[in-house]
Structure 1
């Protein structure tokens, strides 16, 4: 019983201090909170490797049960009250800082045996073991933190009303994975007995429950009025946690069509497949709109190529004004463009295409005769195709149908023709 009381006291002290720092983040800034979160990883790993206590259900380490589990709980609380783009900062900071620590120690070991001091002999074997465990533990922490947030988000639809239950289940799942994975490395490096695997797992399940309750108490006492951030598609959360969307934005800024500012065909070929695959895997629709400027040769012939170039730029600007921020516009050919719209079904795609068609005709009527218009063909995954090639073929055939019927039209299905 005294051991359990010790663990509960430790957990309350750890969570209490971190919760106070987190609560004061708007007054003090996040620096104090993030520093306190990061400084204890070496202690966590050291205690997890060498300091165990015996309880009736087995061996366990306070470093793993209390400190490491508490760190994951604090990261989850951080995400619940902030967002993926904010919480990724400590996740990556911990990853880089811990690897830097291991790297610095490794460079010192290149020197050879340190000078012996009277009354003190450094335990080089322990330093070597700790280096291995630090690398393994840091890698697991990074995986655990991202997986914890993704599991929590997945549980939103299953447990929509209870933050505490979502937090508890998420922590239990990830801590179970971590207990097995870290024990494999610990047993390989130090020969820790199998009793520590079972005892540690039972203790971590208790930690998941305790920390979930702590999270619930904190939220109800201190931040009840602040609503939880709206749910996002799981793929979007993962992209934010892994900086994938920043990578895509960077590629976008360096892969734009010089004339119109739309993304290039090369970017379409790079982005479209993965975007469609994520949508299909998550059971969400994805629409492809193929847009072509009508009678563009006549515009060039009547007004000149400079005016024609200006018309293309204005068409792209108009399209951007009628779609969502997460939709992408690509220049696919000379006067042909593609709008790729994840999370957009057929009805919404038809509405968006009609807005584009109307806005181009109304917004460019100052060009003169002929007034620039567009024809649009639409294809929607997964119902009408599960590959980009299939969607392109279908959208192109519908674009041709819109042209055949007189242009300035949208065709979503052969029977659905708008003017």
Structure 2
């Protein structure tokens, strides 16, 4: 039941966030804010038992965990200046609520003689202070999850894993902080702490997976967010986000959209060093378009640019999620593979050759071919320069052997009419 509630909650909120460009962000933020009271109320009053003698609340497990990941989603698709708005709004609104409850006490005596029921002021006091404490924790949580997500980028390339790691750490911190208030104010037992923490870890995994689906298929990144004015803590994160995005943009080849040679020499070298340090296998592939100069000479540079774009698209269609593709220069492309065997890279190389032939890359719609050389660690070296040099040597072996083929540690000669053989070059 909790799983269904979590999927439904995230699905509705993600939909409202996705249509913000048509309906405005207000509908998303107002819905998020209206759930805040229910979330705090359930966290204070409604618990279900789970195996092991633990207790958990849907308000804390589903609504709060989902809200935290949704706010990270806002940061990733907008910026820190936008994500701070609902947090400040919740904090100010809760302070205002406590102030109004204090004013209500002045009217209680007038209502008592009229025979009407009085508001439950102690309950409103408790809820108000819990909501203020929850909003304060949310402010800290958002800072933490954004900073953790950004810092994990150097260690973890996949956004889903970064969201999961960051949200797990922050939800652990939040569970301890919010339970402390519940224990002091409402004398909540310790099974609530442990049961809620375990449930939040499951929720972190679920909401991270759902966020990954959203980021990859519902709203892929298309632009660099624009920061607003200076002066607040969140603004530092906005400029950090923009700076990192501009660095990423500067490392892209404007023609093909692939990462450029500079990124190969920095990101590529860092990736190879990390893989070598971890004892993982990796490989490097160089692909060079055959007789590309003839395309430029015969059809012009505009047609040549279109050819390179088509080749880049064909190459990318053959790569997995963790593979890194670069345009090295001219008609040369480089791919870094992690955790691949020589046979697996050989298969990808063959797929690339076939994709380029079948991809209508040539301006005259005739066959365009490429030559490929690749090298594998540790046999061919354990650093970027050594692998590149060996792959480059094998690329020219492929050229000398007649082009339209791949040469690697255990691969020799793949033409359009031949199946790659497995022999040492």
- With structure 2 as the length reference, what TM-score do the two structures score? 0.51
| 2: CA distance, partners of 1:210 / 1:23 | 19
The runs of 5 or more residues in structure 2 that have no matched partner are: 239-425
Matched residue SS, 2:161: helix
| 1:189, distance to aligned residue in structure 2 (A) | 0.7
Mapping for residues 19-418 of structure 1, pairs under 5 Å = 19-57=14-52, 58-112=54-108, 115=111, 122-159=119-156, 161-224=157-220, 226=222, 241-243=233-235
| 1:168, distance to aligned residue in structure 2 (A) | 0.6
| 2: CA distance, partners of 1:202 / 1:185 | 19
| 1:128, distance to aligned residue in structure 2 (A) | 2.3
| 1: CA distance, partners of 2:117 / 2:93 | 28
Q: Give CA-to-partner distance per residue, 1:176-202, whole Å, 9 cap, x none.
A: 001001111101111111100000000
Match of 2:5 among 10, 35, 44: 10
| 1:245, distance to aligned residue in structure 2 (A) | 10
| 2: CA distance, partners of 1:82 / 1:133 | 29
Q: Give CA-to-partner distance per residue, 1:86-107, whole Å, 9 cap, x none.
A: 2222222222222222222222
| 1:218, distance to aligned residue in structure 2 (A) | 1.1
| 2: CA distance, partners of 1:8 / 1:175 | 18
Please tell me whether the aligned partners of residues 175 and 205 of structure 1 are also in contact (alpha carbons under 8 angstroms): yes
| 2: CA distance, partners of 1:213 / 1:18 | 15
| 2: CA distance, partners of 1:237 / 1:194 | 44
| 2: CA distance, partners of 1:143 / 1:52 | 25
Please tell me whether the aligned partners of residues 149 and 163 of structure 2 are also in contact (alpha carbons under 8 angstroms): yes
Please tell me whether the aligned partners of residues 41 and 98 of structure 1 are also in contact (alpha carbons under 8 angstroms): no
Matched residue SS, 1:155: helix
Matched residue SS, 2:153: coil
Please tell me whether the aligned partners of residues 75 and 83 of structure 2 are also in contact (alpha carbons under 8 angstroms): yes
The runs of 5 or more residues in structure 1 that have no matched partner are: 1-5, 247-419
- More off after superposition, 144-153 vs 175-184: 144-153
| 1:32, distance to aligned residue in structure 2 (A) | 0.8
| 1:21, distance to aligned residue in structure 2 (A) | 0.7
> Cα 1:40–1:225, aligned 2, differ >3 Å: closer, same or farther?
closer
Q: Give CA-to-partner distance per residue, 1:326-378, whole Å, 9 cap, x none.
A: xxxxxxxxxxxxxxxxxxxxxxxxxxxxxxxxxxxxxxxxxxxxxxxxxxxxx
Q: Give CA-to-partner distance per residue, 1:255-283, whole Å, 9 cap, x none.
A: xxxxxxxxxxxxxxxxxxxxxxxxxxxxx
| 1: CA distance, partners of 2:66 / 2:225 | 22
Please tell me whether the aligned partners of residues 179 and 200 of structure 1 are also in contact (alpha carbons under 8 angstroms): yes
Matched residue SS, 2:55: strand
**Count of aligned positions:** 236
* Structure 2 partner of 1:358: none
What do you get for the CA RMSD once the two structures are aligned?
2.9
Matched residue SS, 2:107: coil
| 1:169, distance to aligned residue in structure 2 (A) | 0.7
> Cα 1:137–1:225, aligned 2, differ >3 Å: closer, same or farther?
closer
> Cα 1:149–1:189, aligned 2, differ >3 Å: closer, same or farther?
same
| 1:227, distance to aligned residue in structure 2 (A) | 6.2
| 2: CA distance, partners of 1:245 / 1:76 | 12
> Cα 1:245–1:18, aligned 2, differ >3 Å: closer, same or farther?
closer
Q: Give CA-to-partner distance per residue, 1:117-155, whole Å, 9 cap, x none.
A: 879564333222212212211211111112211111111
Q: Give CA-to-partner distance per residue, 1:277-336, whole Å, 9 cap, x none.
A: xxxxxxxxxxxxxxxxxxxxxxxxxxxxxxxxxxxxxxxxxxxxxxxxxxxxxxxxxxxx
Q: Give CA-to-partner distance per residue, 1:49-70, whole Å, 9 cap, x none.
A: 0100001141001101111111
